[in-house]
Amino acid sequence: MTRARTSPPLVPGHRAPALVVALITGLLAALTGAVLPVVVARSASAVAVDPSADPSADPSADATVTWGVRPADAEPHAADRANFAYTAAPGETIEDALVVTNHGNATTTLQVYAADAFTTTRGVLDLRRADQTSHGVGAWVAIATPEVAVPPGESVVVPFVLTVPEDAEPGDHAGGVVTSLVSSRADGVSVDRRLGARLHLRVAGPLGPGVSLEDARAVHHGTLDPTAAGSVDVGVEVANTGNARVGGPATVTVAGPFGWGEQVVQVDVPELLPGERTTVAVRVEDVRPLLRLTATVRLVPEIAADGSTLAPVTATASTAALPWTLLVLVVLVAAAVWVSRRRARHRAEATDRLVAEAVAAARQEPDRLPAV
C-alpha cells in the first residue's frame, strides 16, 4: 500500500487544495493501472457459396429453395465429394457432372451455368450471377444442359466439360456450377434463388503464394471517466499477392509504452482468392489511456488447398491515447493554484509596503521627550 505525501505549503498560510493531490493520484492510476485480462474474440471462418436471393428482393417474398445440388459420383472422380476440385495442366480437359435433386412437390425448372467466384465484404465465397460475365474458370466450363426440368422427388444429372486454356496462369482458380430459379413478384421485381457447388481448379506450374498487410490504422476512443479504460478500433487491408487461395488467423495486439496494458483480440481472415483483398476491422476493448498506443496486426497465412502455412506478416499503427478529462482538470486546478499564489504574493507585497511606509513615517517624526 502506497501512502500519499502532502507537499509543503506553497504560500505561507495557504495549503495546496487536496483536489490537486487527488487528481495527480488519479492521473498516475490511469497511466499505471493494472493490466486487465486478455480479451479473445473469434469471428466465423466458414467460406461457402452464398445461396441467398437477390438482396434487393422483398423479404416477404417466398425465397424457399426446394432443391439440392452435389457433385456426381462418377469415375474417375471420388464419391461423396463436398465440391469439385481438380489439378490440371494447361490444355487439359475434364469431364464431370452435377446432380440436381428436387425435394419439392412440383416439377422445378432451373437454369444451370458456371460462374467465377469472389469473396464478399462479409468474408463469404459467392458466385457471379448469370447476367455477369466470368473471365476465369467460369468461362472455361461448358454446361451440357443449360436448362433442366426436375420432377418432384427425382434427380437429374447435368454433365459439363472443363477445358483449361493453353495460356491459363498457374495457381488456384475458383468458381462454381450454379442452379438458378428466377421468379417475379406481383410488383414485377424479379427474385433470383441460386444454389451452387464450388469448383476449385489448380493449374499446374510455379506456385507462389503471398500475402501483404497494408494501410494499418488505429483510433482510440476514450471515456469521460479519466480513470476508466476505453477502446481502440484497428483496421488493416489484407491483400492476396500470390496465385494460391489463402486465409488464416490474425492476432491484433494493442499496448502502451514498454508493453503496458496489453490487450489482444484474435480474428480469422477469410479465404482470399488470388488478386483479392479485404479489410479486417477489430475493436479492442479495455484499453488504458497510456498516452501513446501501438496496434500490431500479425497474420499467419494458410494455404487453403493443403493447410500449410507461410511466414507471418505484420503491420503496425499508433494512436494518441490521452486522459483528456483528467488533464483538463489538472490544468484548471494548476491555474487556480497559480492565481491563488499570485494573489497571496500581491497581498504580502501590499502588507510589506504598508509596514515600510509606517516605519518611514515614524522615523521622520521628531523625538518628543517629556519636560524636566
Q: How many domains, the chain?
A: 3
The Cα 321–Cα 231 span in angstroms is: 10
In a domain, 369, yes or no: no
Residues 131 and 7 placed together within one structural domain of the fold = no
Q: Which of 303, 265, 267, 271 is nearest to 287 (CA)?
A: 265
Contact status, residue 43 vs residue 155, Cβ threshold 8 Å = no
Residue 29's pLDDT is 43
Contact status, residue 197 vs residue 141, Cβ threshold 8 Å = no
Distance of CA 125 to the CA centre of its chain: 18
In a domain, 38, yes or no: no
Residues 196 and 98 placed together within one structural domain of the fold = yes
Indicate the residue among 151, 186, 203 that finishes a domain.
Answer: 203
Residues 199 and 233 placed together within one structural domain of the fold = no
Residues 261 and 188 placed together within one structural domain of the fold = no
Indicate the residue among 150, 181, 203 that finishes a domain.
Answer: 203
Which residues neighbour 121 within 8 Å (Cβ) at sequence distance 6 or greater? 278, 279
Instruction: Report how far apart, in Å, the C-alpha atoms of 161 and of each of 16, 85, 113 are.
Output: 87, 14, 12
Residue 311's pLDDT is 96
In a domain, 268, yes or no: yes
Residue 358's pLDDT is 77
In a domain, 54, yes or no: no
Residue 62's pLDDT is 53
In a domain, 345, yes or no: yes
| Mean pLDDT per 10-residue interval, the chain, length 372 residues | 37 42 46 33 32 39 80 89 95 97 96 95 88 96 97 97 97 97 84 94 96 97 82 97 97 96 96 94 93 96 94 96 64 74 79 78 65 54
The CATH number given to whatever domain includes residue 150 is 2.60.40.10
Residues 19 and 83 placed together within one structural domain of the fold = no
Residues 191 and 86 placed together within one structural domain of the fold = yes
Residue 367's pLDDT is 56
Residues 235 and 337 placed together within one structural domain of the fold = no
Residues 303 and 329 placed together within one structural domain of the fold = no
Question: What residues make up the domain containing 86?
Answer: 67-203
In a domain, 104, yes or no: yes
Residues 71 and 197 placed together within one structural domain of the fold = yes
Residues 192 and 230 placed together within one structural domain of the fold = no
Residue 365's pLDDT is 67
Residues 124 and 160 placed together within one structural domain of the fold = yes
Residue with cell 501483404: 212
Q: Is the pTM of this model over 0.85?
A: no
Residue with cell 478529462: 325
Indicate the residue among 203, 226, 257 that finishes a domain.
Answer: 203
SS3 for the chain, per residue?
A: CCCCCCCCCCECCECCCHHHHHHHHHHHHHHCCCCCCCCCCCCCCCCCCCCCCCCCCCCCCCCCCCEEEEECCCCCCCCCCCCEEEEECCCCEEEEEEEEEECCCCCEEEEEEEEEEEECCCCCEEECCCCCCCCCHHHCEEECCCEEEECCCCEEEEEEEEECCCCCCCEEEEEEEEEEEEEECCCCCEEEEEEEEEEEEEECCCCCCCEEEEEEEEEEECCCCCCCCEEEEEEEEEEECCCCCEEEEEEEEEECHHHCCCEEEEEEEEEECCCCEEEEEEEEEEECCCEEEEEEEEECCEECCCCCECCCEEEEEEEEECCHHHHHHHHHHHHHHHHHHHHHHHHHHHHHHHHHHHHHHHHHCCCCCCCC
In a domain, 37, yes or no: no
Residues 26 and 78 placed together within one structural domain of the fold = no
Residue with cell 496494458: 261
Residue 321's pLDDT is 85
In a domain, 53, yes or no: no
